Amino acid sequence: SWQGSVTGDHAFSTAILEEGMKWHQLGMTNEDAQFLETRKYQANEIARIFRIPPHMIGDLERATFSNIEHQSLEFVIHTLRPWLVRWERAIWRDLIDEPDQDKVFAEFLVDGLLRGDAKARSEALRVQFQNGALSIDEWRSIENRNPLPDELGQRHYVQMNLAEVTDEEPEPEPEPAPLPPPVPQPALPEPEESSRAMFAPLIADVAARIATREVGALGKRASKAETDADMFDEWVDTFYDGHAAYVVKAVSP
């Protein structure tokens, strides 16, 4: 086989091709590899001469999603912008009539090239606007928009409630009057004293009725006891037997 004829003991020997076969080199010589490295260096040199990021001429060896975006911004700012400013001034000088030069100007809009970082630019402008560094018209001018009518966009605002810078700081509200001291409440009686005070009139009425009945009955029978003491004693025993039942009934709830 071909592998056996060029490996092992036959390594580095001359290969013999039969039946009209031709040899084609599949690998790359060191000279060719070095030549390709030279071509890559030339591409970087060309990009460096014209101030162009390497990825814009097809060299993506060290390109990432993040650095391509920033390299594109640098291309607009440091490569295109200086030339655009020169052309803008030349157009203003040579193509615009002198009476109109105070009202008309030329400007290249590069927002499309900067659109990839519009969020960061808007965030920076918002911070400056909220801290009074930019007015609305200045913000709109940076975004290539016309100013607001009636000079409404020339005001500056600060972050606190977006109040106008020229507005005077409002006076602080007066402190409320101190509340009157609380009125001391009378101490509630103890539960035992409260119950006693509640039932005292009822107890006094019952005791008065019991005493009145007892005194009245004894007073009537005492006048008759002078003639018959034994009969009075019997009556007393009978009276108090019934009087005890009356007392129980009177004091029962």
Band (190; pLDDT cuts 50, 70, 90) = low
176 Cβ partners below 8 Å, 6+ apart? Answer: none
Mean pLDDT for the stretch of residues 108-134 = 79
Q: How far apart are CA 219 and CA 232, in angstroms?
A: 12
Q: Is the pLDDT of residue 250 over 90?
A: no
pLDDT of residue 88: 93
My answer on whether 161 and 117 are in the same domain is yes
pLDDT of residue 220: 76
Q: Is the pLDDT of residue 160 over 60?
A: yes
More confident residue, 48 or 198: 48
CB 57 within 8 A of CB 46: yes
144 Cβ partners below 8 Å, 6+ apart? Answer: 107, 109, 111
Q: Domain count of the chain?
A: 2
pLDDT of residue 187: 63
User: Would 202 be classed as within a structural domain?
Assistant: yes
Mean pLDDT for the stretch of residues 29-56 = 85
Last residue of a domain, one of 150, 168, 186: 168
User: Would 125 be classed as within a structural domain?
Assistant: yes
Query: CA-based diameter of the chain, in Å?
Result: 181
Phi, psi of 164 (to 5 degrees): -65, 145
Q: How far apart are CA 78 and CA 187, in angstroms?
A: 88
Q: What is the pLDDT of residues 167-178, one digit of tens each?
A: 555 566 677 777
User: Would 24 be classed as within a structural domain?
Assistant: no
pLDDT of residue 165: 57
User: Would 54 be classed as within a structural domain?
Assistant: no
Q: Is the pLDDT of residue 91 over 90?
A: yes
User: Would 74 be classed as within a structural domain?
Assistant: no
My answer on whether 201 and 156 are in the same domain is no
Residue 225 belongs to what domain range? 196-251
User: Would 79 be classed as within a structural domain?
Assistant: no
My answer on whether 117 and 157 are in the same domain is yes
User: Would 87 be classed as within a structural domain?
Assistant: no
